[in-house]
Structure 1
Amino acid sequence: MSAPPPWPIGFKTILVRAVLYVLFIGAIVQGAYLEALYLPSVRFTELGFTELTQTLVLFTCCAMLIYIRQVLKVWPTVTLLLLAFVASSLVREQDYFLDTYVAENTWKVLVALIILPSLFWVVKQRQRFLEEFAHYSNTFAFGLFTAGVLTTYIFSRLYGRTIMWQAVLDDQYVRIFKDVAEEVVELLGYSLILIATLELLLLARRIYRARKISA
């Protein structure tokens, strides 16, 4: 029988987290409903609840990843790559404001400035990255993060296609249906990434404490 990990987690703790995550997912869906009900002038636009919540979720993920990497110093190469991905997503979500108030395609330049140096460093430290990833890939956080990425960048794009909703609604097609479908599913995906990042943070804190005890 294999030995338990040096950073165990109790069943009661998992149960409490599961309940909180269910409530959180329910809250964002309710928020989207209230946005549609009470904010008709900005619903599902850059100034609506859904888009602003996406920005808040991604910003929170960035803050947690910076804490994990810079303070807890757990898996710094893996967390750098995750941070680059999430930060790029955050910048991408601001494309309307950047294109309107700065310059066209500004977000693309900023994303390149985030991604390219990060990839260069990860490639340079590839052996360390592979060692860290061997641990990270076997965690609940990795599974959730992967699910969030697939939901946001694959499913929401395909589910929110204009041709799909034109086929569903036929002559009754209105663009708002497509926008709602895509943006709400995208928010769900970002929320999964948020939960995954929180799980990684909690795991990193247990690893950090285990290191201090062993030292």
Structure 2
Amino acid sequence: MPAPDSISFRATCIRAVIYILLTGALMQGVYYEALYLPDNQFTERGFTELAQTLLLTIASALLIYARHGLKSMPQVTLLLFGFLFASLIREQDSHLDTYLFDGAWQVLVTLVILPCLFFVIRRRRQFIDEFTHYSNTFSFGLFAAGFLTTYVFSRLYGRSEVWMAILGDHYARTFKDAAEEVTELFGYALLLFAIIELVLLARRWRLSHNGTDNT
């Protein structure tokens, strides 16, 4: 009987096709944004920013389902939820500053992160045990790739200095914004794929005693 952590070749191929199609759809949306939304390119009202919000919203909802519906890895899923939901709030910084008050997103992020950290640290032994199992999964590999893409590479790749050096006298902020936002979009897509894999993993763990699920 396959280990509950394993993924069948058929399931791997199906998921690969789905993830490729979703990535292609996102990039097609970016193309249409550049083509038909010149006034909203890479702004809060553009496709890229709205897609980022949607990806983070879905990922956060799936983590709630994994924690409360599947009751899997409660400490790991809580920490991941806090991280992604804080990112979702951060993406709304312009709206929050406009319609609430300046710096509202920092306050809301703090109200999300601190309780999550408190409960995880309070149950740190359980968290370490859960993380030991999770760190050896495909989901964690995708999450690590998404994290590096979004929070490290996109920030470095989207620096104004880089694009000024590349474009010289032809520099325009649009190039910098496009580079950073589109790379960030792909990173969020990887994070969503990671959470989808986490949910499927939790489902396999839950059903492993039957030996019937290898999704």
With the shorter chain as reference, the TM-score category is over 0.9
CA change 1:179–1:197 in 2 (3 A) is same
1:9 deviates by: 2.6
1:49-92 deviation digits (Å, cap 9, x = unpaired): 00000000000000000000001000000000000000000000
Once the two structures are superposed, the pairs formed by residues 86-125 of structure 1 within 5 Å of their partners are 86-125=84-123
Unaligned runs of 5+ in 1: none
Q: 2:40 aligns with which of 24, 35, 42?
A: 42
Distance, in Å, in 2 between the alignment partners of 1:10 and 1:177 is: 42
**Corresponding residue for residue 151 of structure 1:** 149
Distance, in Å, in 2 between the alignment partners of 1:6 and 1:41 is: 49
> Would you say 1:197 and 2:187 are equivalent positions?
no
Q: Across the two proteins, how many residue pairs are aligned to each other?
A: 211
Tell me, yes or no, if the aligned pair for 2:5 and 2:137 is still in contact at 8 Å: no
1:149-192 deviation digits (Å, cap 9, x = unpaired): 10000000000000110000101101000000000000000000
**Corresponding residue for residue 77 of structure 1:** 75
- SS at 2:45's partner residue? coil
Q: 1:178 aligns with which of 176, 179, 184?
A: 176
Distance, in Å, in 1 between the alignment partners of 2:172 and 2:79 is: 39
Distance, in Å, in 2 between the alignment partners of 1:68 and 1:150 is: 23
- SS at 2:41's partner residue? coil
**Paired residue type of 1:205:** R
- SS at 1:73's partner residue? coil
Q: 1:164 aligns with which of 158, 162, 165?
A: 162
CA change 1:212–1:100 in 2 (3 A) is farther
**Paired residue type of 1:123:** I
Higher relative contact order (CA 8 A, sep 6+): 2
CA change 1:103–1:77 in 2 (3 A) is same
Which is worse superposed, 63-72 or 204-213?
A: 204-213
1:110-131 deviation digits (Å, cap 9, x = unpaired): 0000111111111110000000
TM-score by length of 1: 0.95
CA change 1:211–1:85 in 2 (3 A) is farther
Tell me, yes or no, if the aligned pair for 1:7 and 1:210 is still in contact at 8 Å: no
**Corresponding residue for residue 9 of structure 1:** 7
Distance, in Å, in 2 between the alignment partners of 1:209 and 1:149 is: 29
**Corresponding residue for residue 24 of structure 1:** 22
Distance, in Å, in 2 between the alignment partners of 1:156 and 1:53 is: 16
Distance, in Å, in 2 between the alignment partners of 1:36 and 1:142 is: 33
Tell me, yes or no, if the aligned pair for 1:161 and 1:178 is still in contact at 8 Å: yes
Q: 1:52 aligns with which of 50, 53, 69?
A: 50
TM-score by length of 2: 0.95
- SS at 1:44's partner residue? coil
Distance, in Å, in 2 between the alignment partners of 1:185 and 1:8 is: 30
**Paired residue type of 1:140:** F
